[in-house]
A and B are shown apart, each in its own frame.
Chain A
């Protein structure tokens, strides 16, 4: 009877890089700067760092400890901790499947933009011409060339979630490619993943450093940085800031999905994961702050550029209407001129007064964007105005790709590891076949996100698939480890692994503070959902050239409910099934013992 030993990382560095690669993802780049901007700039760092120490670090430590101790994927690990709690593992896998299905679509978009960067002029730099070559396409003129490229040429988005449209070939091809890349990286298990993460973890930092150097030298970048770093401490009084900090830490570290348990399960029994947990969490937060530096310099550049373009346009309008000499109106005397012209020629002025846009730098900076809007619209708009835009575009989208693929590796590991632990599946299917089937399945389901209404479904998944459910899973995890498994037993396990017991600080957090915090977040989410009314979404209106708010139709709301319920139901369901099984066994045993005697 030959047993293959469990595959393992070639050295601890690979494990650390895998965790970094997984945790440092798109959320660091497109969510954290947004939160910073919404909650008072530099002041947001205070709740963020507090939540890191009080919630993020301890939970990260916990998950690594479980994975390394049980040496199994999430399903096996939780079943080993307590047979009734096996449902937590299954819930993690379900959430990871949802994540894997929709997250890779982002990589498909990154590939699309990357491939389109290899052109003389970037396709989102100019509006395409209408058929008679005299004007630009009206949808593009009303919005902007970057908006048009994203909504029309990339997504070909429909006007509402009910209007399905067909599968977009370009998107579908890029999605297939993304899944093939992921398959290539996880094909050989830790052997291949361990080597890939050297690259996916370090390349984004290289690009961010280059971007930082370029970003701070851009004209107007200082406006953005000043805006970010002037702390508006009054915003800290708003509980939303603290709640957003807590949820951001939780989701940014990727807790609850089972990926960390999967990665840690390949560790040596005595790997010092305590140090590694601290290192990875700190790197993750530092990266968020670093990324927001880059993002805010880009914001500043873009806002200044738009502001100065606005001033130029107003100038041109005035000198054209009033036939003044070309260099008579400058940026600094624009307001004087406006009042002078209004007073001297009120009738003529009235004809153009509707076209005079108030140009305001503050309002340009205030436009806070997050998510795909930031990554694909705002950044590409800034890039098209930089010199050598093709180079910057290639660098930026490669970085997005590395971040996305790094996170995908973690997601896929969270699904594959429990599957490979199952003796039944391993007996009947080879490793490559199993992984291949999983990738194929996710790819096919993911094709639904490449339809014309795909982006609306993507937003639903992004907002609901892995938010509330993860909070629930993490809460059950903590309670299970502390109270069902027993904190003392857990302490002893850690001592066996790394040679010393965890400091009392960790124990207090695990048993008291974190559960209370997460229950608080839970209550807030429920209250927010109940008070929010019908969930809405932003639909793109091609006639107006901007997004409009629409309510979700009943079937979309049903899908939202399904997403939340399928993962959370696993926990009580499995507990119930185990309970019934145990009762049956007990009944059988007592029957045997009565017949035996």
Chain B
């Protein structure tokens, strides 16, 4: 009796190992990059961490299928490497000889990906399930692209500037025309002309130093 029990017991892990095969049809490879993710705070990967992994995966299966029959023993791990990578399969809790098909496992993992990542303080990039691409977060698209807003502001400023300059130039010209119209005929004749340039436009400008005639600028006084 005892020998038969012993035989049965020894067969179980053997069976389990037989179910979990690298490159198996329903097996997934997992790769963890703990040191990359956590640097100095990296934890050691040991049996307990492995236990947590199997428990988390069981949780994911429970959540996905809604059956509360999944247990830590349903998840079998094999081919662990120093990389911290391994293969795992999920046994059907109702029929321990068969495995849960690949798609179901994939969907379950997809559903609870965030929870699985957080349990290990890792992210989609550092806790990789080879064959399950991470669902990348869609970028937030504001209703109006930001650049249009900035463009609108700058365009508004420039347009205001142009209009201001044009209108002020227009007003200046009107004022000048008015002062010219208001002059009498007499005054027109009296306006002094110097080389064809009215003295009015020269008003306010200081005399120009003709460098050809003087090297010592202090001697000349300003007109």
- Residues of A bordering B, CB below 8 Å: 1-5, 111-112, 114-116, 118-119, 126, 128-129, 133-135, 170, 173-174, 177, 180-181, 183-184, 187-188, 192, 268-270, 272, 319-320, 323-328, 431-432, 495-499
Contact = CB atoms under 8 A, between A and B. Distances in A.
B136 interface: yes
Nearest to A271: B211
Nearest to B84: A326
A499 B169 contact: no
B208 A269 contact: yes
Contacts of B82: 323-325, 328
B208 A174 contact: no
A3 B197 contact: yes
A133 B83 contact: no
B158 A270 contact: no
Contacts of A118: 146-147, 150
Given A115-B151, A184-B162, A319-B83, A134 B133 contact: yes
Given A133-B136, A180-B158, A319-B83, A1 B212 contact: no
Task: Tell which of B35, B147, B196, B208 has the most Cβ of chain A within 10 Å.
Answer: B147
Contacts of A327: 35
Contact of A177 (B136, B151, B165, B166): B151
A585 B116 CA distance: 97
Contacts of B33: 326
Given A115-B147, A325-B83, 13 more contacts: A2-B198, A2-B201, A4-B201, A118-B150, A128-B139, A192-B165, A270-B211, A270-B212, A320-B83, A326-B36, A327-B35, A432-B169, A497-B211
Contacts of A184: 158, 161-162, 165
A187 B210 contact: no
A188 B196 CA distance: 24
A111 B147 CA distance: 10
Contact of B83 (A111, A268, A324, A431): A324
Interface string B147-177: 1101100110011011001100100000000
B198 A326 contact: no
A323 B81 contact: yes
A183 B162 contact: yes
Contacts of A2: 180, 198, 201
A183 B197 CA distance: 29
A2 B135 CA distance: 77
A320 B162 CA distance: 62
Interface in B125-139: 133-136, 138-139
A133 B208 contact: no
B137 to A, nearest CB: 8
A192 B166 CA distance: 12
Given A134-B133, A499-B215, A268 B84 contact: no
Secondary structure of the A contact surface, majority rule: loop
A173 B150 CA distance: 12
A376 to B, nearest CB: 15
B18 interface: no
A495 B135 contact: no
A560 B4 CA distance: 94
Contacts of B81: 323
Contacts of A187: 162, 165-166, 169
B208 A270 contact: yes
Contacts of A4: 201
Contacts of B85: 320, 323
A320 B126 CA distance: 12
Contacts of B7: none
Contacts of B1: none
Contacts of A325: 82-84
A497 B213 CA distance: 10
B202 interface: yes
Ranked nearest first, the 9 interchain pairs of A and B with the lowest CB-CB distance are A323-B81, A499-B211, A115-B147, A323-B83, A325-B82, A326-B35, A115-B150, A134-B133, A270-B211
Contacts of B136: 129, 133-134
Given A5-B201, A326-B33, A432-B169, A112 B211 contact: no
A115 to B, nearest CB: 4
B58 to A, nearest CB: 25
Nearest to A121: B139
Interface string B52-90: 000000000000000000000000000001111100000
A572 to B, nearest CB: 36
Interface string B205-223: 0001111100100000000
B34 interface: yes
17 contacts: A2-B201, A5-B202, A111-B151, A115-B150, A119-B146, A129-B138, A133-B138, A177-B151, A184-B162, A187-B162, A188-B169, A269-B208, A320-B31, A320-B85, A325-B84, A328-B82, A497-B212
Contacts of B197: 3, 5
B162 A134 contact: no
Contacts of A126: 139
A326 B83 contact: yes
A324 B161 CA distance: 66
A432 B155 CA distance: 19
Contacts of B208: 268-270
Nearest to B163: A184
Contacts of B169: 187-188, 431-432
A10 to B, nearest CB: 11
Contact of B211 (A129, A135, A319, A498): A498
A152 to B, nearest CB: 16
Contacts of B202: 5
B33 to A, nearest CB: 6
A1 B196 contact: yes
Contacts of B134: 134
A126 B83 CA distance: 29
A431 B135 CA distance: 61
A177 B158 contact: yes
Contacts of B212: 270, 495-497, 499
Contact of A181 (B148, B158, B166): B158
Contacts of A183: 162
Interface in B184-213: 196-198, 201-202, 208-212
A325 B45 CA distance: 11
Contacts of B180: 2
A16 to B, nearest CB: 18
A187 B155 CA distance: 16
B140 to A, nearest CB: 8
A167 to B, nearest CB: 16
A133 B135 contact: yes
A183 B208 CA distance: 32
A116 B148 CA distance: 9
Contact of A116 (B35, B36, B147, B155): B147
Nearest to A433: B166
Contacts of A324: 82-83
